[in-house]
Amino acid sequence: MISLKVPHHGNPWTLDIDSAWIAWLTFDLKGEKVNVFNEHALAELEMMLDQLHADERIKALVLTSGKRDSFIAGADIEELAKIKDDEDARAKSQAGQTVFEKIATMPVPTVAAIHGACMGGGLEMALACDYRLVTDHPKTILALPEVNLGILPGWGGTQRLPQLIGLAMALPMILGGKNIPGKKAYRMGLADGIIAEAFVRQQGADFVERVLTRSGRAKVMKRRAKSQSRVMKMLQANPLGRAIIYRQSLKQVLKKTNGNYPAPLKALKVVQKTFRRRPIDQGLVLEATYFSKLACTPISRNLVNLFQASQRAKKAGAPDVKLELRSGGVLGAGLMGAGIASAMSRAGMAVRLKDISWEALGKGLSTIAKGYKGRVKRRRMTQGEMDQAMLRVAPTIDFTGFANLDIVVEAVIENMDLKVKVLRELEDSVGPDTIICTNTSSLPLNDLAAIMKRPKRFIGLHFFNPVDRMPLVEIVPCKKTSKETILAAVQLVKDMGKIPVVVGDCPGFLVNRILIPYLVESAWMFEEGIDIERLDSLLEQFGMPMGPMALVDEVGIDVGYKAAKTLESAYGDRMNVPSALDEVAESGDLLGKKNGKGFYIYEKKSKKPNERVYRLIEEARRRDGISPRDIPDGDVIDRAILIMVNEAARCLEEHVVDDPEALDIAMVMGTGFAPFRGGLLRYADERGVREIMHRLEEFEQKYGERFKPARLIEKVAKSGGRFYSNN
């Protein structure tokens, strides 16, 4: 082995040249868990490439990663966040394009040997290579997720990907940030070979040896050409066919985003203007231009801020403390309990799953297996990993094996008496150091802590349903909960791959306390005569993932109504539930999507407004003394959204959370609040807190006490400040 030493201190690239004169260039960014392209890494890569260009002895170049389970995660988000203006953005785009063009113009074959996540700029670098190899490991994922940050691929991705795999397969990756597992990448021609993780070097060298021959190159090109269907080749070969593909792509983007996210629309324009119309040098200029127009927009700033905030939340807890949670227990094998047990098992923990009958446990295990099968189907785990995960879950109808568990989560139904009974039994069955958590969305934690013999090790967790899809978990310490218990709960949530947010104990905690007023206010507007579909449509256009009435149906009218009444009891008139919700909830059989009848009627994959609900509303209006009235679109949106801003301000006042960023992350991850707006309080800051206060005062005059501005809103408005700068 010949090793080329580069005399530049701190170079993240290591170059080794083997006896066959194959250059192996390995990226290993020191002190980081994953490789990202920062200015220094790009500059060093360019220097190495210049040296390789000048060395006539080199026969091939292979690019690899020194990280265990990651190739390259993309560009450094910190540098993206610091882009000053359009010209700075254009310069950063052109810098990456220039370096990758040096890979594309190497006089010898170039190969990217990919194991693990290959994202954004990492994939753009791989696209600049002549060939790509992927490992067969589930962690090998290829994607261009830039649109999720409000930008587009700016280092050649919009140019090289469509040329490589065709429009039909490239556009979903560019416009939607779609993840492609390694094996699928091979089938679609994005990768040219599959290699084993343990034999990257050996099998990579074998591949290089093949493509150094004319017959080997021809074989790769023939297989790559076959990956595109004949129909798609014909479509993209003529302007009319391409127009059909572009039109369908635009339709899908608008359906998914309601036009609120400009990045996929701009990316589509770049592809339209360049694919088979301009040489790559001109295409790269256009790509850099559109990148620069997006990078400094408020939407991109908001999405980047959210990404950074989520990364900080994932690192919550003491950075110097890593607790080893090897075993856990779950009480209750229903949907919630099964979801929690599944997440524990997936994190590598041995899990005891307890319920009162083997029948209930059988259903719980079936739920877990179904979730795992879905992950195998989506290539998020292998069949072998699923089998091992299932073996880690041990069902039981008693407390056998609980004495030595590290942590236990009680997840029985939301009933105070039952939880008290179960928690008392549990505490008598575990060891003195076992952490006990209760999963609840509304019950007062300090009341439950009062019945515990060791309240220091007791804490509340609020998982959101469905557990396998919802990333947020609210962690709710009680008055006597120890710091060690909080850290253990945070560690459990992090081990599960979820985002922990520590919140104070109050009715509704954080997310539901802010969300329920939004749903209740929407019910008030429905009672005042706003059509269900118009109401939902307006809030979806604002950026909510679904309208409020559809959301109540999704959650379950019975569940949502119970939560609303709980908060009404706790907070009084400002959360007064309208008779419209009473009438629908007390009808007896309108439960929402789960039984096909709610504010909408659900049939197969379609839904339509439920006329019966409109008939019920007449009685509600008589009770509340309301006559139907027309409400402007702006008022509909402001009443629903600003009542949440107002409650969020109260949560900051009362220290339910101390940080606006934590609140915004919780609302985005827990409710899907419009990510492009950066979160509820960032939206308030950008709109102007003073303007929001005036709107609340206007609504207070019209609709009553529930819109009275919170003290913090008045304070921030009068100072001309912002929630983020005020904190």
As a whole number of angstroms, the distance between CA 575 and CA 578 comes to 9
Q: How many whole angstroms separate alpha carbon 296 and alpha carbon 623?
A: 52
DSSP tag of 260? -
**Of 163, 167, 160, 161, nearest to 236 (Cα)?**
167
Among 205, 200, 206, 165, smallest CA distance to 185 is for 165
Angle between helices 214-226 and 200-211 (to 10 degrees): 100
DSSP letters spanning 524-543? HHHHTT--HHHHHHHHHHHT
72/396 Cα distance (integer angstroms): 43
User: Which residues are CB-neighbours of 316 under 8 A, at least 6 positions away?
Assistant: 490, 494, 500, 501, 502
What is the DSSP-derived secondary structure letter of residue 58? -
Residue 153: is the preceding peptide bond cis (ω within 30°)? no
Distances (CA, A) of 215 to 62, 190, 209, 649: 20, 20, 11, 68
User: Which token pair is 259?
Assistant: 């036009």
**Matching residue, tokens 């001309």:** 720
Q: Considering the candidates 53, 115, 462, 655, report the single residue annotated as catalytic.
A: 462
For tokens 């989520």, the residue is 310
Q: Known catalytic residue: 462?
A: yes
Q: Is 60 helix (H, G, I), strand (E, B) or coil?
A: strand
Conformational region of residue 349, where left means phi above 0, alpha means psi within -120 to 50, and beta covers everything else: beta
Whether 590 contacts 597, CB under 8 Å: yes
DSSP string for 383-411: HHHHHHHHHTEEEESS-TT-TT-SEEEE-
Look at residues 710, 703, 706, 700 and name the one whose alpha carbon lies nearest to residue 652. Answer: 710
* CB of 146 closer than 8 Å to CB of 154: yes
Q: What's the token pair of residue 479?
A: 């008055």
Catalytic annotation, residues = 462
